[in-house]
Structure 1
Amino acid sequence: MLRIKRTIPRLLLVFLLAGLFSACSTPKRISRLEEHAASLLDQAQAQEFGVDEYEELLLDDYENYPVPEQPEQIELLHLDLRDSLAMAAKYSREYQSAKETLYLSSLSLLAEANQWDWNPVNNFSALWGIEQKPSSSTLGTNTGLGMRKRFFSGARFSANLGLQTLRFLSGDRTVNLTSIANVSLSMPLLAGRGADIVREPLTQAERNLIYALRHYVRAREALLINVAERYYAVLNAKESLEIGKATYASVASSLERSKAMADAGRVDPFQVDQAQQKVLTAESNLVSLEENYQSAIDQLKSVLGIPLDIGLEADSKDLQRLAEQKLPNPPMDFDAAVQTALKQRLDYATAQERLEDARRQVRIAEDALRPTLNLALSGDARSDTSNSLQLMKFADSDYTAGLDMELPLERTDELVRYRRSLIIERQQEREMVKARDNIIGDLRNVWRQLRSYEQSYQIQRVSVTLSEKRVESTQLLFEGGRVDIRELLDAQDDLSSAKNSLTRSLVNHRISWLKLLYQLGQLPIDPGSLWSEQLELQ
């Protein structure tokens, strides 16, 4: 009897220890979850890209760019393009968000896949009862442990073992024990039967992970272009500022020469006023150029995830190396480029497969209009109630078999879902056509821009050469008194404008080249540094 009286406290202790173990093992369970998520991400990469070495896509703890506590400890950052991309890979908030979106998709798939595993189930409940007349009190417990499983055929299986106890806390203080076993199986025979119907939530979760992986890769490529565009914008603004300073120095020198010549009576005083006005204009232009330069730096910092109060300076040698490069040409003609983009663009592949998703939903909604017929099988066994554990009497078990049928006499909700799925299918068809048109349109635009900037660059190179010669000759003519100061000032302005246009055309051509590769789906990127071989300069 003493052994029986200790049964309930022992059961309570077992469940308390199990709960404590679960709480203490949370880090280990998270670690196993990470391993499962990594496996799903590796499988997605293998399916989509067919690679042997997988990118590690698990999340690292995001850290903001470290800022010293004392302002005087802040050092100036000197970055080239490679350094800027490495900074973005580490600190870009957009890049981190893209990683998190992908990881969340893997967790969604993991949760859905778990529904199809053998999963343990358990329960424990206790009920304390008091009766006034006659005065008595009882404590009942119900403990269960089992397994459950879903199958792609639509079948659901469960098996449970349980123990029921009833202890009288007054009177003779006896304990009644009953052990229970239960097995059940249910299966649809008409509507809801078959792997293509039953497995759909898991199929869609798998597809969503592939879509998220593609979006992540495209977002990474877009980030590279964004960083490169902001970086070269800084170099362009810096070059414009240097050109502006040179122009200011040139017109200021012209002003001094015009004053000297006016004092000597060689030019009219109004020409000095013209030079003075041009100096003021150049000085005002310097203020605007400095503002544009600082604004470009702030925009680059924002893209990189660097605080705005951190000083930053871009490497001007990158612009020099770019100017020394031969402008690249498109790797194919336009018609071939369109076919390549439609074949390799990940976002277009997603648009096509979302149409397949919509068509699956139509089939599933159509299946729900059929009559339902479910088969249910179950078996129960229990022991005799006693103050000690008894063997279950399987010979006296209860077995049941049944059919549950529902004719499709009222299917309004199902008809609404079916009609909605047909509309969504048509919408996805239009979205796929729209995606194709957008790809061709975007490709045509960047193709034209690339050609336009190439022609502009070649024109501006000639323009700079001619403007330099014009400034030299006009300077000599002015000093010889053969032209007035306006001719010289206009020549200096034209030289400044030509140099700015040359740099702008060079930078725009470079960015358009990267955008062309992006549109073609041919911009491979190292995930750790965001560097691409297409950025290499000889």
Structure 2
Amino acid sequence: MAERTEPIFFLPDRSVQAAAHSRMADFSDPDCGPLPPDDPAAARFMDCPYKAKGSRVWHERGQLADIEFEHWRSFLPQDDEGVVPLNRQTAMELALLHSRDYQTQVEGVYLQALPVSLQRFQFDAQWTGGAGLAFLQRGGHTAGSTRTLSLTDGLGVSKRFATGGQLLADFSNAMTWEYNGGVSSAASVLSFQFLQPLMRRAFREVQLEPLTQAERNLLYSVRDFARFRRTFFVSTVGTNGYLGLLAVAQAIRNEEANLESLRRNLEEHIALYETNQASQFQVDQVYQEYAQGRLSLMRAQATYNTELDRYKLQLGLPSTLHVKLNSEELKQFELNDPRLEKLTDRNDATRIGLLQFSEDELPSMSELRPFYAECEAMLDLIPELTSEVKSELETWTARLKADTERTSGDPDDEASVERQRELELAERLTKVISEILAEFPADVEQLETARTAIDADKPLLAWEALNLLCGDQLRERLDSLFVVQTQVRVYLIQTKPVEISEDTAIWLAENNRLDLKNQQGRVVDAYRRTEVAADLLEADLDLVLGADLGTDPGRINPLRFDSSASTLRAGLQFDGPLNRMAERNDYRASQIEYQRARRNYMAARDSILFDVRKILRNLNLNRFSFEISRQQLITAARQVEQAQIDLRNAEQSDSNLTRNLLQALQSLLQARNSLIASWVSYETSRMQLHQALGILQVDDSGSWINDGQTFDNFLDINDAPLGFERELDPGLDGDASGDEEVPVL
């Protein structure tokens, strides 16, 4: 494998056996290890196959308690509670360590290397040797009986040459002792034989073909493994892996947030119903939606648990293992500060508490003071939260201005128009923040009115002031902060841009895709096989040379060679091609296979270019879909705010307003789910594009190490880690001329 590792990809140096801390590790002796546990029904046929008694050797080696060893659990990156936290890095590390598919791929490369060692061995000097001892008695104990002891031994060597010649050398010795007559004999022969085909099966193109094909097959296997590592990364981290789990986890958060909103609205509608400000039908509307929200949350949780179990199996881990998804990457999808959400809950609870009273049933001073204290505490948090939202807004505005200055160009360009729209939105949101800060003194004044009324023992005035403060003023400020922060944080979510032309992408794929290189090599393999098949149509004409050097038969000396006992041979052997029907068919078949290989290469190239073009389209669609999801979420947040305002300002109960609010909440939930789904799709498309271009590089731990690099790095001869061999076609890139050298990856 080391001989075939190319600069275009990286392969870790590892043994074919699973690591000692892997789930697949086997600590038993690989040669004569203990017997693994057997199926009881099948074990009967090993102990007694048919009428024969089974061998005892299997049980004498010992018995394993289980097929799987449990040592690997102690090496898991568990926390204090025994839970394995999962992020991109740990997911890849666990997959490389425990994935059965990955281990099978490693073994496949190793198995492909075994034929290479055999074919190389065929051209090495091969030694043979042996000895034999035999005792022979004739006639029993009669007078004419004989008893002899014979000792034979031999040593030989053979050498195969690339031209088809084969040299054999053998030394054999025989010694005999006869006990009756005391006669002894010894004879040795040193033989040489050389065979050289002159026509059929002769010369390098035929004799080296098995070795050549084995060497090339190993190269193909190494490349396939390198490409598998890239595909393995995308499948482990992409939509069908870690990022897909993130999307499901975020969907649960969205369902929880939606359910919380429905709960608050249900409690508010119940309170309004008790004061005759809402109808029973409106309460039923909200309750049905709340019940449906609980069901949706349960479904999302069940889906998440199922997908998490499936992902554990994908990593090679049992589904019963306790793992926890690291939600760090989901923080950017936390569109509102949890403190703001808690403050909204507190304000709603305070307002619902105040709605329990009326002008006819006013609260006592002791009942009003806790409401006043809660309003005072909530009011103290408004400036802090407003400042935080303002800071986030300033961060987003600064980024917009920097992007505008960096990419200033055609003002009518779509990207420029979009940035201008975002700048205008930022300005509007800045005005909203300013209005919230400007209206804060009025809130303080309203709170002071309530305090003065309480001190003056005027419950009606205090109750009305607190009810106005919680029901209108604070709620309006919190709703405005909620919408502003949602819009700001939506735009703070960043995606890594991908800027590459279709021509450049196609050029990169043609020069970097390992599977296309393999397919191109197989065309040449098929071409060579036609020549080998054609060689078998020829006649057999072999040159045969031989020599036997024997010892002097008159002396008992196994090393005394004598010319009288030696022979020399030389000759030609010819076999005419009178019957070559089978070879003719093989030759015609090899020609057809060559044409098929050519078509397969063209089909592979077309398929790769098709994939590249499709991924580029999907990438653009996913990026645009993500931007649309931003707008939809912002619109949905505004609809929720407006629906709440309409419902709050209604002078009489109106089920249409309740329905509008519920529909707005459902639209907000769908927009949140669409946002995370489009982000995951875009991130996966980025990985798939690098994979399709053949430039996705993963390190020893399986991590993507060239994420974020521009594609220019793969075209710069000073930065690219690869060699460059030809010029780019003039028509491939609009900026490239026919005389300009462009590096090839």
TM-score range, shorter chain: 0.7 to 0.9
Instruction: Report what 1:263 is aligned to.
Output: 274
How many correspondences in the alignment?
491
Distance 1:221 1:101, change over 3 A: same
The amino acid that maps onto 2:13 is: E
Instruction: Report what 1:328 is aligned to.
Output: 496
Equivalence map 1:372-387=2 (5 Å): 372-385=540-553, 387=556
CA distance in 2, matches of 1:93, 1:493: 42
Instruction: Report what 1:400 is aligned to.
Output: 569
Instruction: Report what 2:4 is aligned to.
Output: 44
CA distance in 2, matches of 1:197, 1:516: 42
State whether residues 78 and 315 of structure 1, in contact with CA within 8 Å, keep that contact through their aligned partners in structure 2: yes
The amino acid that maps onto 2:2 is: D
CA distance in 2, matches of 1:444, 1:327: 21
TM-score, normalised to structure 2's length?
0.63
Equivalence map 1:15-26=2 (5 Å): none
The amino acid that maps onto 2:588 is: R
Instruction: Report what 1:132 is aligned to.
Output: 139
CA distance in 1, matches of 2:331, 2:605: 38
CA distance in 1, matches of 2:139, 2:154: 31
The 3-state SS of whatever aligns with 1:533 is coil
The amino acid that maps onto 2:152 is: N
**Structure 1 position 476, deviation (Å):** 2.1
Distance 1:273 1:454, change over 3 A: same
**Within the alignment, does 1:108 sit opposite 2:108 as a pair?**
no
Equivalence map 1:351-430=2 (5 Å): 351-385=519-553, 387-394=556-563, 396-430=565-599
The amino acid that maps onto 2:136 is: G
Percent identity, please: 26
The 3-state SS of whatever aligns with 2:148 is strand
Equivalence map 1:105-504=2 (5 Å): 105-132=112-139, 134-168=144-178, 170-172=179-181, 174-229=183-238, 230-320=241-331, 326-385=494-553, 387-394=556-563, 396-481=565-650, 483-504=656-677
Does 1 or 2 have the higher relative contact order (CA < 8 Å, sep 6+)?
A: 1
The 3-state SS of whatever aligns with 1:525 is coil
The 3-state SS of whatever aligns with 1:221 is helix
The amino acid that maps onto 1:79 is: L
Larger radius of gyration: 2
State whether residues 79 and 313 of structure 1, in contact with CA within 8 Å, keep that contact through their aligned partners in structure 2: yes
CA distance in 2, matches of 1:424, 1:84: 43
**Structure 1 position 478, deviation (Å):** 1.3
**Structure 1 position 395, deviation (Å):** 6.0
The amino acid that maps onto 2:287 is: Q
The 3-state SS of whatever aligns with 1:153 is coil
**Structure 1 position 321, deviation (Å):** 6.0
The amino acid that maps onto 2:73 is: V
Alignment RMSD, CA only? Answer: 2.5
**Structure 1 position 220, deviation (Å):** 0.3
- Cα offsets for 1:468-519 (capped at 9, x unmatched): 1221221121122265211111111000100000000001100110000000
**Structure 1 position 137, deviation (Å):** 3.6
CA distance in 1, matches of 2:232, 2:83: 24
Distance 1:56 1:175, change over 3 A: farther
Instruction: Report what 1:529 is aligned to.
Output: 701
Alignment equivalent of 2:73, drawn from 63, 67, 71: 67
State whether residues 524 and 533 of structure 1, in contact with CA within 8 Å, keep that contact through their aligned partners in structure 2: yes
The amino acid that maps onto 2:226 is: V
The amino acid that maps onto 1:83 is: T
State whether residues 344 and 521 of structure 1, in contact with CA within 8 Å, keep that contact through their aligned partners in structure 2: yes
**Structure 1 position 240, deviation (Å):** 0.5
State whether residues 540 and 576 of structure 2, in contact with CA within 8 Å, keep that contact through their aligned partners in structure 1: yes
The 3-state SS of whatever aligns with 2:573 is strand
Q: Which moved more, 1:255-264 or 1:147-156?
A: 255-264
Distance 1:357 1:414, change over 3 A: same
Instruction: Report what 2:416 is aligned to.
Output: none
The amino acid that maps onto 1:531 is: S
CA distance in 1, matches of 2:644, 2:177: 113
The 3-state SS of whatever aligns with 2:73 is coil
TM-score, normalised to structure 1's length?
0.86
Distance 1:412 1:138, change over 3 A: farther
Instruction: Report what 1:9 is aligned to.
Output: none
- Cα offsets for 1:212-241 (capped at 9, x unmatched): 010010000011101112111111111101
CA distance in 2, matches of 1:393, 1:321: 95
State whether residues 177 and 388 of structure 1, in contact with CA within 8 Å, keep that contact through their aligned partners in structure 2: yes
State whether residues 8 and 695 of structure 2, in contact with CA within 8 Å, keep that contact through their aligned partners in structure 1: no
The structure richer in strand per residue is 1
Distance 1:321 1:224, change over 3 A: farther
Instruction: Report what 2:371 is aligned to.
Output: none
CA distance in 1, matches of 2:706, 2:634: 30
The 3-state SS of whatever aligns with 2:174 is strand
- Cα offsets for 1:150-189 (capped at 9, x unmatched): 1001100111112112233x41354422111011110011
State whether residues 552 and 564 of structure 2, in contact with CA within 8 Å, keep that contact through their aligned partners in structure 1: no
CA distance in 1, matches of 2:493, 2:560: 87
